[in-house]
């Protein structure tokens, strides 16, 4: 569980992007919906510990991220994975890209292999394992980034527009994978414009408007009229 308590954040030279956000990303799937520029990406980055709030607190499984000592903070941050809307893929093969997060965490290649294979299989990437990642389409890159995130088995998974470039089949596949993770007790947050996806997969929805939580509750209730 990740809790934001009265979080404020301003980008350098920007207006206040978050103006006192309180929300909880629980086990299961939480969708963040709302207009462009309302603060969804900023909330995900704050929740992942990538941005530090100007005020307020971020609790990861009950521990205050920014008052933790550096070692504890690293441990907490590693329990959260954020997947960017237009993920970076690196030189090398799809398999190497999927293994990247595990390598960063110092997992030996031998040990990593099974997790990487499984993550690629879940996202239908097994056939592409030896392909050069740089040659992939935008949709395939998104799948690789998601596989890279799954390979490290995060307790908390934060996704920014995960289906933006996907065709129907892959969109369905991603929806299925996220539901499986949710059943396994992962807390998943998805910032999305995909209203149908939000309705289909989420347990809760939070409407963000102008740097604040405007509504939250069951997905059909929150998404009604949007």
* Residues that bind ligand ADP in the complex, under the rule CB under 6 A: 11, 14, 17, 34, 36-42, 191
Cα 113 versus chain centre, distance: 23
For the bound state, the minimum distance from the C-beta of residue 197 to ligand ADP, rounded and expressed in Å, comes to 16
Query: At 28, is the secondary structure helix, strand, or coil?
Result: strand
For the bound state, the minimum distance from the C-beta of residue 47 to ligand ADP, rounded and expressed in Å, comes to 12
The β-bridge partners of 16 are 10
Q: Which is nearer to ligand ADP, 13 or 168 (CB)?
A: 13
Residues with Cβ within 8 Å of residue 53, at least 6 apart in sequence: 4, 7, 8, 9, 18, 46, 66
Q: Which is nearer to ligand ADP, 157 or 191 (CB)?
A: 191
Widest pairwise Cα distance in the chain: 51
For the bound state, the minimum distance from the C-beta of residue 91 to ligand ADP, rounded and expressed in Å, comes to 26
Rounded distance between C-alpha atoms, residue 169 and residue 163, angstroms: 11
Q: Which is nearer to ligand ADP, 154 or 211 (CB)?
A: 211
For the bound state, the minimum distance from the C-beta of residue 41 to ligand ADP, rounded and expressed in Å, comes to 3
Give the chain's radius of gyration (CA, Å): 17
Q: Which is nearer to ligand ADP, 42 or 187 (CB)?
A: 42
Residues 89, 176, 159, CA angle at the centre, nearest 5°? Answer: 40
For the bound state, the minimum distance from the C-beta of residue 111 to ligand ADP, rounded and expressed in Å, comes to 36
Q: Which is nearer to ligand ADP, 33 or 123 (CB)?
A: 33
**Tokens encoding 156:** 């908390």
């Amino acid at each position: 569980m990740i809790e934001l308590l009265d979080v404020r954040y301003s980008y350098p030279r920007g207006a206040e992007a978050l103006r006192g956000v309180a929300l909880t990303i629980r086990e299961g799937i939480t969708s963040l919906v709302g207009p462009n520029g309302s603060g969804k990406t900023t909330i995900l980055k704050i929740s992942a510990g990538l941005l530090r709030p100007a005020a307020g607190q971020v609790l990861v499984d009950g521990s205050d991220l920014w008052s933790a000592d550096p070692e504890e903070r690293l441990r907490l941050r590693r329990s959260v994975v954020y997947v960017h809307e237009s993920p970076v893929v690196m030189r090398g093969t799809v398999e190497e890209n999927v293994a990247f997060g595990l390598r960063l965490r110092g997992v030996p290649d031998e040990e990593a292999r099974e997790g990487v294979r499984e993550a690629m299989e879940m996202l239908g990437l097994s056939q592409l394992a030896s392909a050069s990642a740089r040659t992939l389409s935008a949709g395939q890159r998104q799948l690789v980034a998601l596989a890279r995130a799954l390979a490290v088995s995060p307790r908390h998974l934060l996704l920014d527009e995960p289906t933006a470039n996907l065709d129907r089949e892959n969109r369905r596949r991603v929806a299925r994978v996220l539901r499986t993770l949710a059943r396994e007790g992962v807390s998943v947050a998805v910032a999305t414009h995909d209203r149908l996806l939000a309705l289909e997969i989420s347990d809760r929805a939070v409407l963000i408007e102008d740097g604040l939580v405007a509504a939250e509750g069951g997905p059909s209730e929150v998404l009604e009229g949007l």
